């Protein structure tokens, strides 16, 4: 891999002039775009992360105000401040916004800011994807939350149980806004999860083996993987839901063979992991700040990994505990009660790890630590009531009462909100270079802490005294007026605390700069200077410890003087190092995306698809879809898999790595693989639907006009074509890799033709038998599986055509073949989807 012509001479880092030259080049390369519009096309994680955080914070304040209105309405019995209609919109939007527009995006936003810093990377692997995620989030969020000003907000509760929400005579536009607006945001959440996973696995600095990874990165990895498996079932549910609302396909309509419980399963398979998705990142913040304030290494690092991974798994076995009262067999409930108790074990482990660390260390009292310990106290109460409601008989009483409202707010305030405030006080100097006021912070903490307890503690009692959830009023005779008044008073107190934090933030620009690393922390992110440069880190360090700033000699100085890796930007490109998963050995230098308007345009176009569909403007929506496709192709064609000007690059210390890789060592391949895992999970949600309907019906599939299945012939033809298309694609990759470009192109053409034919053959089954999806749930679910597979085949054809075009345009060669390798991953999953779909709809009726 050495260039023979001119021997490489490493720059002399002792020479200040050399360092100055490197800094100037880095500064020029990482310069943010300017101009009133173009400044918003920035994709640097420093800026996207901050926008993202501020937007999510704004949505949190908005949803908080909605809660205050609700508490005011409930202050006294039989109050008439707001109507039932408004109240239903308030609680639906409050819950939905806090979950979808605050908790999850906030975790992703904070991670976008922190992760590259923690990993000593210059940016995340796909900066433009971050930009796309942000703009999608902003547009979707404003669309959903703004609906309340038009009295059109969703009003079916954040869980949106059908048939109340699918019957168009019982629910209006709000249900579509919820379903389509939030689906859009879910897509962007999954995109961010893909980026974070690749970031943690592939973008660590050299030497940062798995056992040296900051715990925050471990948690991000676990949580992002959870998002990957938790959100897609909800997306599958959303698909079925909108098919019922817009096309009258009766998935949840019991009169036509559907079942409202299917939605509950799909929703809570998402909904319970969701709780841990928003809780674990907060614990991750603790895992960063507690060692700092104990001034020692975290005690029990593997225990934290155990807890994070264990929680992630167990949290997928809890969903039915939200359905304890749906009349499922008691033994089924018991399995979930058992898993719900088991998940308390890893949670307890984490708490004891923190206690042990504080015990062993020299505790420095500080505002962030005050927030952290306060939130642990709140969370412990929520956790204990969680163990209580996991006991099914107790839950039969507590379910859907204010007891649960109390429980979930203790968990979410103690497990998400207060930890985020701890993180805010801890990391504010990292982002702005200034500390927040310790005094105001402490005052705000105590006000919030008292307010929080005063609001939610009485709710345990009002629930047990018979107050159901989601009621806009309650009768005086229940005797819970006093408790409710206390809750209302507490909520205003809590809001006052939040206000003080906001004032503290507003005063920040007038405060002096803090010193670098003001808390004397040991982890990489604190390399940031108060006057931060946009390049992220001066040189990418070699890591030999979990707390390199504490443990590695002259570490900060060596980083600053560019004595580690990649201290320069000789070719004036944004670059970062890709390393191996287990041991972080350097593999590649990637060129990162630069500021561009493409992510924003793609987000706008995709938003058009969702928003226009809400208003039943299908033609415009289809046009928007075409525009989205065009934007994506344009983005990919101009910005990815670029053939570098030279094959390798020196990154310092005698290490030379390639500038282009393809296949399993490349981040793009991982991104495709991970995305397809999410896609396969969504698909399995639909397949689950098919078999769910099989279990609840004695004769499934049914027979009759419009009900007869797709037969065996067409599904088997489609299956054969899908597999041929797959084989052709794999074959194209192999012959192309061996240098036979022409044969590769020919096989791609075969792939295009067969995959396209499989699309039509797959739809021919239900079409030829005249299956009427409005008649019964069986034709509806068969059509859904067939259409899902057809859409994926269509995307597969687009990918094959794109790759062929890349080859013809000279942008892909046997050495530089990332496009072909990545689409092969897609086609593996497409083949799997085809096998499952066509065997299910074609062969299963024969054995059912």
Minimum distance between the CB of residue 468 and another protein, rounded to whole angstroms? 5
- Residue of 5, 557, 698, 699 that binds another protein (CB under 8 A): 698
**Residues from 765 through 804 that contact another protein (CB under 8 A):** none
- Residue of 64, 116, 141, 156 that binds another protein (CB under 8 A): 156
Place of tokens 């690059």: 649
Q: How would DSSP label each residue in 320-345?
A: GGG-TTS---HHHHHHHHHHHHHTHH
248 binds another protein (CB under 8 A): no
Extract the tokens encoding 426: 């801890």
Question: Are the beta carbons of 294 and 361 closer than 8 angstroms?
Answer: yes
12 binds another protein (CB under 8 A): no
Minimum distance between the CB of residue 417 and another protein, rounded to whole angstroms? 17
- Residue of 18, 142, 210, 835 that binds another protein (CB under 8 A): 210
479 binds another protein (CB under 8 A): yes
* Residue number, 434 or 469, with CB nearest to another protein: 469
Alpha-carbon dihedral 154, 160, 164, 169, rounded to 10 degrees: 40
471 binds another protein (CB under 8 A): yes
497 binds another protein (CB under 8 A): no
Instruction: Tell me the C-alpha distance between 757 and 322, whole Å.
Output: 44
- Residue of 50, 69, 76, 309 that binds another protein (CB under 8 A): 309
207 binds another protein (CB under 8 A): yes
699 binds another protein (CB under 8 A): no
As beta bridge partners, residue 577 has 589
Question: Are the beta carbons of 90 and 66 closer than 8 angstroms?
Answer: yes
167 binds another protein (CB under 8 A): yes
Closest Cα to residue 609, out of 106, 5, 69, 183? 183
Minimum distance between the CB of residue 232 and another protein, rounded to whole angstroms? 17
- Residue of 339, 559, 600, 603 that binds another protein (CB under 8 A): 339
191 binds another protein (CB under 8 A): no
* Residue number, 376 or 666, with CB nearest to another protein: 376
Instruction: Tell me the C-alpha distance between 35 and 799, whole Å.
Output: 36
Which one of 266-274, 386-394, 568-576, 606-614 is the stretch in contact with another protein (CB under 8 A)? 386-394
491 binds another protein (CB under 8 A): no
- Residue of 34, 332, 554, 703 that binds another protein (CB under 8 A): 332
Q: How would DSSP label each residue in 756-794?
A: HHHHHHHHHHHHHTT--TTT-HHHHHHHHHHHHHHHHHH
3 binds another protein (CB under 8 A): no
741 binds another protein (CB under 8 A): no
* Residue number, 360 or 720, with CB nearest to another protein: 360
* Residue number, 135 or 301, with CB nearest to another protein: 301
Question: Are the beta carbons of 526 and 517 closer than 8 angstroms?
Answer: yes
Closest Cα to residue 223, out of 146, 267, 271, 284? 284
- Residue of 392, 424, 578, 641 that binds another protein (CB under 8 A): 392
Instruction: Tell me the C-alpha distance between 528 and 531, whole Å.
Output: 8
669 binds another protein (CB under 8 A): no
Q: Tell me the per-residue interface mask from 525 to 564 with another protein, x by CB under 8 A, - otherwise.
A: ------------------xxxx------------------
- If phi > 0 it is left, if psi is from -120 to 50 it is alpha, else beta; for residue 248 that is left
370 binds another protein (CB under 8 A): no
316 binds another protein (CB under 8 A): yes
Extract the tokens encoding 619: 């033609």
Minimum distance between the CB of residue 218 and another protein, rounded to whole angstroms? 10
Extract the tokens encoding 818: 């990332």
- Collapsing DSSP to helix, strand or coil, 530 comes out as coil
845 binds another protein (CB under 8 A): no
400 binds another protein (CB under 8 A): yes
474 binds another protein (CB under 8 A): yes
Instruction: Tell me the C-alpha distance between 584 and 599, whole Å.
Output: 30
Minimum distance between the CB of residue 508 and another protein, rounded to whole angstroms? 28
* 746 Cα distance to chain centroid: 39
244 binds another protein (CB under 8 A): no
As beta bridge partners, residue 652 has 655
Which one of 339-347, 612-620, 708-716, 738-746 is the stretch in contact with another protein (CB under 8 A)? 339-347
Query: On the CB side of 64, how many CA atoms lie within 13 Å of its CA?
Result: 20
What distance, in Å, lies between the first and last C-alpha atoms of the chain? 59
Q: Tell me the per-residue interface mask from 51 to 90 with another protein, x by CB under 8 A, - otherwise.
A: --------------------------------xxx--x--
* Residue number, 294 or 785, with CB nearest to another protein: 294
Residues recorded for the chain: 848
- Residue of 212, 448, 676, 764 that binds another protein (CB under 8 A): 212
Which one of 19-27, 50-58, 479-487, 739-747 is the stretch in contact with another protein (CB under 8 A)? 479-487
The vertex-616 CA angle with 611 and 618, nearest 5°, equals: 85
Place of tokens 């001066």: 538
CA distances from 439 to 370, 443, 500 (A): 12, 6, 11
């Amino acid at each position: 891999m050495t260039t023979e012509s001119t021997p490489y001479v490493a720059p002399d880092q002792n020479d200040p002039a050399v360092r100055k030259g490197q800094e100037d080049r880095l500064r020029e390369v990482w310069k943010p775009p300017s101009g009133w519009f173009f400044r918003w096309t920035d994709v640097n994680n420093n800026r996207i992360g901050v926008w993202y955080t501020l937007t999510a914070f704004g949505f949190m304040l908005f949803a908080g105000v909605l809660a205050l209105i609700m508490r005011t309405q409930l202050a006294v019995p039989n109050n008439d401040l707001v109507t039932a209609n408004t109240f239903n919109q308030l609680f639906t939007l409050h819950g939905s916004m806090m979950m979808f527009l605050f908790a999850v995006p906030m975790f992703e936003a904070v991670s976008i800011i922190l992760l590259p810093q923690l990993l000593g990377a210059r940016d995340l692997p796909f900066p433009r994807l971050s930009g796309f995620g942000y703009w999608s989030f902003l547009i979707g969020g404003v669309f959903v939350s703004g609906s309340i000003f038009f009295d059109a907000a969703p009003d079916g509760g954040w869980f949106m149980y059908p048939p109340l929400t699918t019957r168009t005579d019982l629910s209006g536009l709000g249900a579509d806004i919820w379903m389509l607006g939030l689906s859009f945001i879910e897509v962007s959440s999954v995109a961010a999860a893909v980026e974070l996973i690749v970031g943690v696995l592939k973008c660590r600095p050299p030497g940062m083996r798995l056992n040296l990874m900051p715990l925050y990165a471990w948690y991000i990895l676990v949580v992002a993987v959870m998002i990957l498996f938790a959100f897609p079932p909800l997306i599958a549910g959303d698909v079925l839901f909108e098919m019922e609302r817009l096309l009258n396909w009766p998935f949840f309509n019991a009169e036509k063979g559907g079942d409202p419980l299917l939605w509950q399963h799909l929703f809570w398979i998402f909904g319970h992991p969701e709780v841990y998705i928003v809780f674990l990142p907060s614990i991750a913040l603790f895992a960063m700040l507690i060692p700092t304030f104990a001034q020692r290494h975290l005690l029990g690092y593997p225990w934290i990994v155990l807890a994070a991974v264990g929680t992630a798994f167990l949290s997928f076995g809890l969903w039915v505990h939200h359905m304890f009262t749906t009349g499922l067999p008691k033994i089924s409930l018991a399995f979930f009660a058992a898993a719900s108790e088991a998940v308390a074990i890893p949670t307890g482990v984490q708490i004891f790890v923190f206690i042990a660390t504080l015990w062993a260390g020299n505790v420095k009292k500080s505002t962030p630590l005050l927030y952290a310990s306060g939130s642990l106290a709140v969370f412990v109460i929520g956790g204990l009531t969680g163990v209580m409601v996991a006991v099914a008989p107790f839950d039969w009483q507590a379910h859907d009462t204010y007891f649960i409202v109390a429980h979930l707010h203790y968990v979410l305030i103690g497990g998400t909100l207060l930890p985020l405030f701890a993180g805010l006080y801890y990391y504010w100097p990292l982002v702005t270079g200034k500390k927040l006021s310790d005094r105001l912070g402490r005052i705000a903490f105590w006000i919030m802490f008292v307010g929080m307890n005063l609001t939610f503690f009485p709710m345990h009692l009002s629930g047990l005294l018979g107050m159901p959830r989601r009621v806009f009023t309650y009768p005086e005779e229940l005797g819970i007026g006093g408790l409710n008044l206390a809750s209302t008073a507490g909520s205003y107190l809590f809001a006052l605390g939040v206000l003080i934090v906001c004032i503290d933030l507003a005063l920040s620009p007038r405060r002096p700069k803090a010193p670098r690393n003001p808390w004397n922390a040991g982890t990489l992110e604190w390399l940031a200077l108060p006057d931060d440069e946009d390049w992220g880190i001066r040189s990418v360090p070699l890591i030999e410890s979990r707390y390199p700033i504490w443990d590695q000699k002259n570490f900060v100085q060596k980083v600053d003087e560019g004595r580690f890796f990649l201290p320069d930007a000789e070719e004036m490109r944004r670059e970062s190092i890709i390393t191996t998963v287990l041991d972080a050995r350097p593999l590649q230098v990637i060129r990162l995306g630069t500021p561009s308007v493409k992510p924003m345009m793609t987000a706008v176009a995709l938003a058009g698809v969702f928003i226009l569909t809400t208003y039943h403007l299908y033609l415009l929506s289809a046009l928007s879809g075409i525009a989205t496709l065009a934007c994506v192709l344009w983005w990919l064609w101009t910005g990815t898999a670029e053939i570098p000007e030279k094959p390798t690059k020196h990154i310092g210390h005698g290490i030379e790595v390639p500038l282009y890789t393809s296949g399993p060592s490349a981040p793009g391949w991982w991104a495709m693989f991970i995305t397809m895992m999410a896609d396969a999970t969504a698909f399995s949600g639909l397949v689950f639907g098919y078999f769910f309907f099989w279990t609840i019906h004695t004769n499934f599939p049914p027979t009759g006009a419009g009900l007869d299945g797709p037969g065996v012939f067409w599904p088997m033809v489609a299956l054969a074509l899908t597999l041929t298309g797959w084989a052709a694609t794999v074959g194209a990759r192999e012959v192309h890799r061996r240098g036979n470009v022409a044969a590769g192109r020919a096989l791609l053409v075969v792939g295009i033709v067969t995959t396209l034919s499989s699309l039509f053959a797959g739809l021919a089954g239900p079409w030829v038998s005249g299956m009427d999806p409005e008649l019964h749930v069986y034709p509806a679910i068969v059509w859904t599986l067939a259409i899902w597979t057809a859409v994926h085949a269509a995307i597969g054809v687009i990918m094959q055509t794109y790759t062929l075009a890349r080859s013809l345009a000279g942008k892909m060669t046997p050495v530089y073949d990332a496009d072909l390798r990545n689409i092969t991953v897609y086609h593996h999953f497409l083949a799997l989807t085809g096998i499952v779909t066509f065997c299910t709809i074609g062969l299963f009726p024969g054995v059912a």
